[in-house]
Structure 1
Amino acid sequence: MTLSAPARPASTLAVTVQFVLAGVVWGSSFLFIAVALTGMTPAQVAWSRLVFGALALAALVLMRRERLSRSPRVWAHLAVIAVTFCVTPYLLFAWAQQHVPSSLASIFNATTPIMTAVFAWAAFRVERLTTGQLAGIAVGIAGVVVIIAPGAVADVAASTVAQLALLGATACYGFSLAYMRRFLSQTGLSGIAFAAGYVGIGAVVMLVLTPVVFAQPVAWSPWVIGSVVLLGVLGTGFAYAWNQNVLAAWGPTRASTVTYITPVIGVVLGIVVLGERLTWNEPVGALIVLVGILLVQRRLARRPRRRNDEAADAGASAAS
């Protein structure tokens, strides 16, 4: 995506703080979802996340006087992204976390760069993969098998189906990021205006479904309310702005390293706050997935990476 630079260059300290904040917020999203599910249905969590996120991004657009697109074609593509990048994966993540720990959900979220590479190469033909990158995809798949297989062999229970749903969510992220590169790489919009477009459309979709979504009552509590507000305003709102500032200051390669922070935060919070436990295969599988990601993103290669490869990495960092 074509991004506009901020009016004033941010200081090194400010950029570093925003980088850390984005990683912490996106890593905390899985905790927020888990807490919200104690009083809400998965659809209600997704509804709240999109509505609060759209309000936060709309406020940023107004304060910064960002320009929105006037092209019907762009808005049509943004509508596709709204469904595949927001509505569907948010529903899948919330549903899956009824059956799996938040820490495990954060680990699966880290497969997004691998999914992006697959769709960019196989579906949209916007990227050619090297032998090393194909090997990285194979390694990533092996890591996912290590995570899922022990439980699936013992019993194909709800947790196994939920893990497959998490993979479906990250596949939606991968499809969407490749779709953005194929159809929306030259919109001329800033990152905030771009995100406000598809998050806003996603919120409208959920608002239309309000009578269905809220057919079941909500068990309101300060923890539930706080979780969905933070999930929407910070995770689906301000964190996008922070990430765009980091992207402008550091470039795509360094900005995309936030992808490695989010699962660590998610796992730590799940264990410390929710008392979750990891089985041996989950951290082992996560490490294998990480090696696959490094290969796919060519971080283990010495030769320079192409600009469009780096841009894809930066986009993948926002899929949390």
Structure 2
Amino acid sequence: MSARYWALIIFIGSIWGTSFLFNAVLIRELGPITVAAGRVTIAALVSWLLFFALRKPLPRDPMLYLKLGLLGVFSYAVPFTLFPISQAHIPSGLAAIINALLPVVTVLVSHYWPGGEKIKRHKAAGVVAGFTGAALLASPSLAAGNEHGELWAIAVCFAAVMLYAITLNVARSFKAIEPTTIATIAISGAALTSVPVALWVEGVPHIERIETWAAWIAIGVFCTALAFQLMYRLLPRVGTTNFASNTFVTPVVAVLLGVSLLGESIRPIHLLGMGVVFLGLLLIDGRILKIWRKPVSGTEVVSPR
């Protein structure tokens, strides 16, 4: 794979790492549903501008709008709400580390999904390592008796990851649809459903801080519209395995930003858990095993005489 594609993968991972910082800023003044509603609304507007700028044709099948709209609700609107809810109780860096479990959960969901990819031995080992890392991440909250709601917040964050994994498998049925069309209609469906719910539950937002507006625009334009448009274009060229490498970048960026700009702290057990999760990702990828086996397979065995 070319250096250009690796640079784009790192770029996308870095963008998604900043989304946890923006969520932490937004929940200081906005409710979690309002955060998600604004994010997908801004992203939908930018996506439609790109859609018409590229002169993409509108689909003629009414059912396609409904299906993609529902995909957007469960892959954007709901997870984008769950992450801010969790970040009210746990550091943004920890939320990003839990998000790094996505490839692990996706492998598990795909195994049981109709027509999905079955788990091989190295992927099974990766799933075990990944959930071991998740257990390490949750262990401080379990030891503390969940006094501060951390365990509950970790569960909410993991529910968002589970939704991502399920909708990734659902999205396979739309592989014949042009990527810009998928992203634009799905994000629009998320906006059309989340805005009324946000207004009903949390009311009209009252924003006083300039950083709230800046974070809202940034998370909508860059972390959602731009990132997902790039993702759908990059996937056919690099494959899902290579693209999943961005999960190595996302939590690192989120942890660094949370510690340096928000004054958050990450415990050593969290870093250990992140390391075990990364080990799981390497095992799922499989290439580390191939590299390890090459010298062994190329070594000539001489029998004793």
- Range of TM-score over shorter length: 0.7 to 0.9
Say whether 1:167 aligns with 2:158: yes
Q: Which amino acid aligns with 1:235?
A: C
Residue 87 of structure 1: aligned partner: 77
**Aligned AA (2:247):** T
Where does residue 47 of structure 1 map in the other structure?
A: 37
1:56 equivalent to 2:46? Answer: yes
For 2:98 and 2:3, locate their aligned partners in 1 and report how far apart those are by CA, in whole Å.
Answer: 31
Flag the structure with larger Rg.
2
How do residues 158-237 of structure 1 correspond to structure 2 at under 5 angstroms?
158-181=149-172, 183-185=173-175, 187-189=176-178, 191-215=179-203, 217-237=205-225
CA deviation profile, 1:43-86 (whole Å, cap 9, x unmatched): 11011111011111111111111234333443333233112111
Q: 2:120 aligns with which of 112, 130, 150?
A: 130
- d(CA) in 1 for partners of 2:60 and 2:247? 32
Higher share in helix: 2
Letter in 2 for 1:165: V
- Unmatched segments (≥5 aa) in structure 1: 1-11, 304-320
Residue 126 (structure 1) shift: 1.2
Find the aligned partners of 2:138 and 2:234 in 1 and give their Cα distance: 34
Structure 2 portions without partners, runs of 5+: 292-305
CA distance in 1, matches of 2:58, 2:142: 47
CA RMSD across the alignment: 2.1
- Distance in 2 (CA, whole Å) between partners of 1:152 and 1:142 is 14
In the alignment, the residues of structure 1 paired with residue 233 and residue 219 of structure 2 have an alpha-carbon distance, to the nearest angstrom, of 20
TM-score norm. by structure 1 comes to 0.83
> Among 288, 301, 304, which residue is 1:300 paired with?
288
Aligned partners of 2:126 and 2:279 also within 8 Å: yes
Question: Which one is further off, 65-74 or 260-269?
Answer: 65-74
Paired AA for residue 48 in structure 2: A
| Aligned residue among 91, 96, 103 for 2:93 | 103
Deviations 1:110-164 (A, max 9, x none): 1111111111112334111112211211111111001102221221231110001
**Sequence identity, in percent?**
26
- Partners of 1:17 and 1:142 lie apart in 2 by 30
1:238 matched to 2:229? The reply is: no
Runs of 4 or more, structure 1, over 6 Å off, are: none
1:186-244 CA distances to partner (integer Å, 9 max, x unpaired)?
A: x331x222111111100011233253144264233110000011001111101223334
* Count of paired positions: 289
